[in-house]
């Protein structure tokens, strides 16, 4: 019998994005991954934008994703701890997942230590220099007033508005974002600043849709988890080392 001692990290799955068929295919792949890691996972960190849109009304949640949610409940019932981070697409998670399967909802950063290694975990949105417009929008969207206001909208209309908004995201619109290499990556800048006051072995993020593993100093690494729309990348910590991996084959765009 294998020992459950590993940590697994994944981000930016965007269930619901592009089309129903594409989302279901992605959901099936995600479930196969969860089935694979259940034998040795102690904790699973889903680090934001798991859903392309999510809003919990008092008595209503978005329909769909039943296979994924059922799998999470199964993992939790077997003793695996699940953490779900709020991303910029699914920041309106409240008490549904904690009540259903004991998930821990992380609104911003999470600092943990496991087996002598220190981790800084965050979805990655709104950090570092620049992007002032989004930082203002994030404060508004996360405000209790905005959440109260949206909850007044009937779900049929509210979810429709949200799906239209999401359809203009970088996934649905196939937007190519210019990425500065190496030390010019803006989350690297954030990490460098953070490391002047605190030490971490691993600083792990999502949000950028790019798998990255950047050496920051003699011991610290910035790791970006990438995404699950084309590359299906994730990180695994076995108690000694953190490795970036791909589950099954990435999707190669036709030339």
CB 212 within 8 A of CB 224: yes
* pTM, to two decimals: 0.85
Beta bridge partners of 33: none
- Dihedral of alpha carbons 106, 125, 28, 243, sign: negative
- Concatenate the DSSP letters of all residues of 175-210 into one string: PPPP---GGGSHHHHHHHHHTTT---SEEEE-SSSS
CA atoms within 13 A on the CB side of 35: 9
Return the pLDDT at 141.
67
Rounded average pLDDT per 10-residue block, the chain, 255 residues = 85 90 94 96 95 80 89 95 90 86 93 97 83 65 68 68 61 48 73 95 94 93 95 95 91 52
CATH fold for the domain made of 6-246 = Purple Acid Phosphatase; chain A, domain 2 (3.60.21)
pLDDT of residue 183: 46
Domain ranges for the chain: 6-246
């Amino acid at each position: 019998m294998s020992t459950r001692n590993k940590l697994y990290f994944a981000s930016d799955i965007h269930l619901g994005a592009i089309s129903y068929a594409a989302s279901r295919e992605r959901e099936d792949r995600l479930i196969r991954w969860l089935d694979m890691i259940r034998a040795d996972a102690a904790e699973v960190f889903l680090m934001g934008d798991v859903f392309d849109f999510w809003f919990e009304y008092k008595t209503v949640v978005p329909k769909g994703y039943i296979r994924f949610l059922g799998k999470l409940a199964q993992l939790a019932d077997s003793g695996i701890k699940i953490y779900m981070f709020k991303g910029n697409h699914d920041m309106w998670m409240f008490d549904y997942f904690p009540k259903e399967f004991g998930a821990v909802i992380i609104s911003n950063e999470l600092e943990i230590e496991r087996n002598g290694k220190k981790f800084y975990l965050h979805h990655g949105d709104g950090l570092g220099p620049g992007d002032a417009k989004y930082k203002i929008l994030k404060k508004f969207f996360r405000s209790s007033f905005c959440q109260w206001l949206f909850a007044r909208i009937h779900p049929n209309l509210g979810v429709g508005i949200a799906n239209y908004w999401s359809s203009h995201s970088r996934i649905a619109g196939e937007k190519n974002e210019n990425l500065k290499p190496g030390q010019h990556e803006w989350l690297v800048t954030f990490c460098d600043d953070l490391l002047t006051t605190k030490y971490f072995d691993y600083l792990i993020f999502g949000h950028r849709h790019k798998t990255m593993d950047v050496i920051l100093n003699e011991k610290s690494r910035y790791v970006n988890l990438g995404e699950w729309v084309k590359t299906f990348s994730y990180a695994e910590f076995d108690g000694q080392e953190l490795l970036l991996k791909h589950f099954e084959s990435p999707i190669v765009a036709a030339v």
